[in-house]
């Protein structure tokens, strides 16, 4: 961390997941794992699928340690608290645990689109293939896919604010953010407003 400028410190801080948020997320992940996999054997199998192990001559490296009680039964609580924040976040998304304030990565986004919005998924896939050679076409396709997804979300009966006909993607996004009380205002940090 060189320079010590204010912006640089904020960026470094923003790359880390807040310890308080992580504690709450780990608790939710632990509960969800117990609910979904029930037996200690299945819980261990699930956790092992997240562990990557590399071997080098006389050493073995793992991205985290699986703790147990000495009798082979997994200590899920201790294990989860020793897994890095990014992996915990990925586990939460995989388990369907709500992760407010975090946007899932492109692979997760693709799966979500595929399961709920088939035509938007096809458009998104076309856009992804066009990024390198035709970025202008890719942007147009993604714009179209996002517009159709947001329109579908806004059709939900729980959404009270309805957009005008012919609304642009910006206008639709504005309506959606206002509905979720996330539209930037003077109280938001300047990084979010931009």
- pLDDT on residue 14: 42
Domain boundary pick from 37, 71, 100: 100
If asked whether residues 133 and 76 sit together in one domain, one would say no
If asked whether residues 96 and 121 sit together in one domain, one would say no
Mean pLDDT for each consecutive 10-residue tract of the chain (194 residues)? 35 57 92 94 94 86 90 92 90 82 52 59 78 82 83 81 83 83 65 54
- Please spell the DSSP secondary structure of 91-152, one letter per residue: HHHHHT---TT-PPPHHHHHHHHHHH-HHHHHHHHHHHHHTTT-HHHHHHHHHHHHHHHHHH
* Degrees to nearest 5, angle at CA 19 with 30 and 65: 50
If asked whether residues 70 and 150 sit together in one domain, one would say no
Domain hosting 130: range is 103-194
- pLDDT on residue 49: 94
Q: How many C-beta neighbours within 10 Å does residue 167 have?
A: 17
3-class SS of residue 56 = strand
Domain boundary pick from 100, 119, 141: 100
If asked whether residues 82 and 139 sit together in one domain, one would say no
- pLDDT on residue 41: 92
- pLDDT on residue 184: 66
- pLDDT on residue 96: 84
- pLDDT on residue 5: 39
pTM for the whole thing?
A: 0.49
If asked whether residues 39 and 50 sit together in one domain, one would say yes
- pLDDT on residue 193: 53
Rounded to whole angstroms, what are the CA distances from 89 to 39, 47, 103? Answer: 23, 14, 10
Question: Based on the structure, what is the number of domains in the chain?
Answer: 2
If asked whether residues 123 and 57 sit together in one domain, one would say no
């Amino acid at each position: 961390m060189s320079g010590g400028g204010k912006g640089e410190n904020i960026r470094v801080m923003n790359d880390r997941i807040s310890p308080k948020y992580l504690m709450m997320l780990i608790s939710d992940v632990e509960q969800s794992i117990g609910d979904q996999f029930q037996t200690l054997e299945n819980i261990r199998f699930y956790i092992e699928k997240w562990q990557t192990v590399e071997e080098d001559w006389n050493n073995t490296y793992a991205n985290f340690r699986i703790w147990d009680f000495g009798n082979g039964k997994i200590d899920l609580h201790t294990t989860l608290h020793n897994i890095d924040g990014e992996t915990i976040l990925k586990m939460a998304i995989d388990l369907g645990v709500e992760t407010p304030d975090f946007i899932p990565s492109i692979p997760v986004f693709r799966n979500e689109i595929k399961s709920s919005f088939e035509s938007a998924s096809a458009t998104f896939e076309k856009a992804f293939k066009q990024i390198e050679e035709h970025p202008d076409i890719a942007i147009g396709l993604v714009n179209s896919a996002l517009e159709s997804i947001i329109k579908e979300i806004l059709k939900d009966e729980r959404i009270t604010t309805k957009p005008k006909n012919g609304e642009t993607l910006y206008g639709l996004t504005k309506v959606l953010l206002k509905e979720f009380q996330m539209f930037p205002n003077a109280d938001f940090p300047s990084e979010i407003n931009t």
